[in-house]
Amino acid sequence: MGKKENKKSVEAITSMEEDFAQWYTDIVKKAELIAYTSVKGCMVIRPYGYAIWENMQNILDRMFKETGHENVCMPMFIPESLLQKEKDHVEGFAPEVAWVTHGGNDKLEERLCVRPTSETLFCEHYAQIVQSYRDLPKLYNQWVSVVRWEKTTRPFLRSREFLWQEGHTIHATAEEAIEETERMLNVYTKFCTESLAIPVIQGKKTESDKFAGAVATYAIEALMHDGKALQAGTSHYFGDGFAKAFNIQYTGKDNQLQYPHQTSWGVTTRLIGAIIMTHGDNNGLILPPAVAPIQVVIVPAAMHKPGVLEKANEVLKALKNAGIRVKLDDSENSPGWKFAEYEMKGVPVRLEIGPRDIEANQCVLVTRHNGEKTSISLENLVSGVQEKLQQVHDGLYQAALENRKNRTYQCRTIEEIQQALETKGDGFIEAMWCGEESCEDEVKAKTGAGSRCIPIEQKQISDVCVCCGKPAKHMVLWGKAY
């Protein structure tokens, strides 16, 4: 890691057509989202990157609370014996946890892992506090970081430590727990659609791909600009498996002891990666207005001419008072430098204001995602900007949907999949599946496209499995994934 490598700069970045991975890395560094550290596989989330996460947190936290959830905080450590209580769960996670073996100079009697996820801790707690049907449901969530000892890492997409929220709920009946699983999948979908301008497909994971210990895992899948899929959120239904492993029981209305049913669900900072790869372009980041730390930047022209800064400050104040996140850049850098800087940082709307604009009682509004320039009267500035921010959101969402549409291929044979990926580039494949894991594996081995999910909205592409030709059970969404 070179010293000073994160120094601000508005040099050009690698184009995404030339090298998508390098384009991504250039953006996370030059938009000042992250910095590398000497802690391998971990990163610093810098103020601009963290502010995006804070905006996401605020929106999601409100959605969670509106649906009756409460925040808690569990320890970051899990004793090895506790992790081992649920067989599938420990098998899934033990190989990739970080182990604490010493406290100060003393060797611990029992190793502790740094939580990779907290089902086991929530279960231990639920066993303490759930006795009667009156104690149910418990709808808990926590905002923390977790650690998974990945071999290969990339900022936001896969790092050894990442930030997330993990919801953990416990219910009297299977029906209620299943309903919760679906509710939270819908919350995530609404969030991606309405706040991140990212279209997603809801589906169920196949058996081989579900969460360690779950009965069923649901996910939302998004398609990146390069045609690769990204899992944007998951919601798991556990049945009573964890309850049995952790001996959580409650007395029902019928006075009988029963096992409750559980769920968990989470989204992570990888959603920042999803934003970059869904909306970004060769000038840098493009942020959806709902989570942009700066929604509007004001760049004055001929800044030192009388009246310009005064007017710019008036505009600043008016927008701020309307609740818009706005910044006036009155630094000595040139307007051209500023344009490039805020383009790199993906600020959705730029306002230019100079002596001639002031004379005409207007300013110039430029939208980041399409470079559209319009004049906007200072009379109805606030409503004009608000309207434009909504248009930016809609424009981003439509462009992402269009990209997905252009990159979704319906295929009836493995050869068709191969051909589609080769001639049209990576994307989503809609193809039928018989339900056998061997066919799932074969499709992946031959085409590189794995099963992403069994979409909730099914289509009938054909009657037979794309691989073996036997009767099909589901349409599966296939793709190469981050």
* Footprint on this chain of a copy of itself (rule: CB under 8 A): 1, 3-7, 35, 37-39, 42-47, 50-51, 53-54, 70-79, 81-82, 94-106, 112, 114, 121, 124-125, 127-129, 131, 140, 144-145, 147, 149, 160-161, 163
**Residue 123 or 366 having the CB closest to a copy of itself:** 123
- The token pair that represents 305 in the structure block: 């001419």
**Residue 61 or 436 having the CB closest to a copy of itself:** 61
Q: Smallest distance from the beta carbon of 125 to a copy of itself, in angstroms?
A: 5
Q: Smallest distance from the beta carbon of 70 to a copy of itself, in angstroms?
A: 4
Q: Smallest distance from the beta carbon of 121 to a copy of itself, in angstroms?
A: 7
- Residue 275 near residue 200 (C-beta atoms within 8 A): no
Q: Smallest distance from the beta carbon of 441 to a copy of itself, in angstroms?
A: 24
- Which residues in 342-482 belong to E strands, given as ranges? 349-353, 362-367, 373-377, 408-410, 428-433, 450-455, 474-479
**Residue 78 or 312 having the CB closest to a copy of itself:** 78
469-474 long-range CB contacts below 8 Å, 24 or more apart? 470/434, 470/436, 471/434, 472/432, 472/433, 472/434, 473/433, 473/434, 473/435, 474/432, 474/433, 474/435
Query: Within its chain, how far is the Cα of 399 from the centroid?
Result: 18
List the end-to-end C-alpha distance of the chain, in Å, as a whole number: 24
**Residue 128 or 152 having the CB closest to a copy of itself:** 128
Q: How many CB atoms lie within 10 A of CB 425?
A: 12
**Residue 142 or 367 having the CB closest to a copy of itself:** 142
Contact residues for 119 (Cβ-Cβ < 8 A; gap 6+): 86, 89, 168, 213, 238, 242, 264
Q: Smallest distance from the beta carbon of 39 to a copy of itself, in angstroms?
A: 4
**Residue 59 or 76 having the CB closest to a copy of itself:** 76
Give the separation between CA 478 and CA 279, rounded to whole angstroms. Answer: 22
Q: Smallest distance from the beta carbon of 123 to a copy of itself, in angstroms?
A: 11
In what side-by-side order are the strands of the sheet with 70-71?
70-71, 138-147, 161-171, 261-268, 229-239, 216-223, 201-204, 450-455, 474-479, 428-433, 408-410
CA atoms lying within 13 Å on the CB side of residue 472: 22
**Residue 20 or 140 having the CB closest to a copy of itself:** 140
- Residue 468 near residue 434 (C-beta atoms within 8 A): yes
Of the candidates 162, 77, 151, 171, which has an alpha carbon nearest to the alpha carbon of residue 120? 77
Give the separation between CA 352 and CA 371, rounded to whole angstroms. Answer: 13
**Residue 158 or 444 having the CB closest to a copy of itself:** 158
CA distances from 172 to 92, 239, 288 (A): 27, 11, 39
CA atoms lying within 13 Å on the CB side of residue 482: 28
* Ramachandran class of 150: left when φ > 0, alpha when ψ lies in -120 to 50, beta otherwise: beta
**Residue 38 or 423 having the CB closest to a copy of itself:** 38
Give the separation between CA 88 and CA 353, rounded to whole angstroms. Answer: 61
Handedness of CA 442, 448, 452, 454 (dihedral sign): negative
**Residue 160 or 338 having the CB closest to a copy of itself:** 160
| Helix axis angle, 174-194 to 47-66, nearest 10° | 140
392, containing H or E segment: helix 381-406
304, containing H or E segment: none
**Residue 130 or 417 having the CB closest to a copy of itself:** 130
**Residue 43 or 443 having the CB closest to a copy of itself:** 43
Contact residues for 342 (Cβ-Cβ < 8 A; gap 6+): 294, 297, 299, 329, 350, 368
